[in-house]
Amino acid sequence: MNKLVMATNNANKLREAREIMAPLGIEVLSLKDMAIDCDPDENGSTFAENARIKAEAVYKAAAGKTGANTAVFADDSGLCVDALGGRPGVHSARYAPKGEECAKLLGELEGTPDEERTARFVCSIAFLDETGAHSEVSGVCEGKIGYEQRGTNGFGYDPVFMYGDRTLAEMSSEEKNSISHRGAALRALYELLKERYGD
């Protein structure tokens, strides 16, 4: 395998995946690189299901475009807060209007004591090889929801997600990638690909 399509056009996700896969000599292509316009309904009840829905849609679209089967992978991620029974979970992107998710979460957790503010980011990756065979890897980042928004880096829930005594929004992107759910899932994918395709 020398080409792998990542089911995203997000420049940050793409850069991170390219950096991690570089030692394998595999070229990671975006949807834009493949001229694929694909936005399937992510109606699964788990991150893994949603990642697979995305990966299968892109696999079909890529085969339709090029007439040849190409390996693809898709990621799906979100935040699970214990005091909210795992919410927002697979609904993380739709929990609140962009930019308002942290304030809403802090509001929901008002009065929740420190020891009950545990939470985790989860990232699931679905990989389909050239034959369409499916594999799944995932990564988790354990932390706590703080009491105020801190830091200006990152996106989404980063300003309220405490990893130790800092939020993810107070970390550089390199530092965050080294401990994040997505970084862990991408490194697990790297290991899987190395085992299968490495020399």
Give the residues lining the site for ligand IMP (CB under 6 A): 76-79, 92-93, 101, 121, 154-158, 180
Q: Which residues are catalytic?
A: 76
Residue 152 DSSP code: S
In the complex, minimum distance from the CB of residue 108 to ligand IMP, in angstroms, rounded to a whole number: 15
In the complex, minimum distance from the CB of residue 133 to ligand IMP, in angstroms, rounded to a whole number: 23
76 vs 170, beta carbon nearer ligand IMP: 76
Q: Which long-range contacts (CB under 8 A, 24 or more apart) does 10-18 make?
A: 12/173, 13/75, 13/182, 16/177, 16/182, 16/183, 16/186, 17/186
187 vs 194, beta carbon nearer ligand IMP: 187
- Report the run of H or E that residue 47 belongs to, with start and end: helix 47-66
101 vs 136, beta carbon nearer ligand IMP: 101
- Spatial contact of 77 and 47, defined as CB atoms under 8 Å apart: yes
In the complex, minimum distance from the CB of residue 67 to ligand IMP, in angstroms, rounded to a whole number: 30
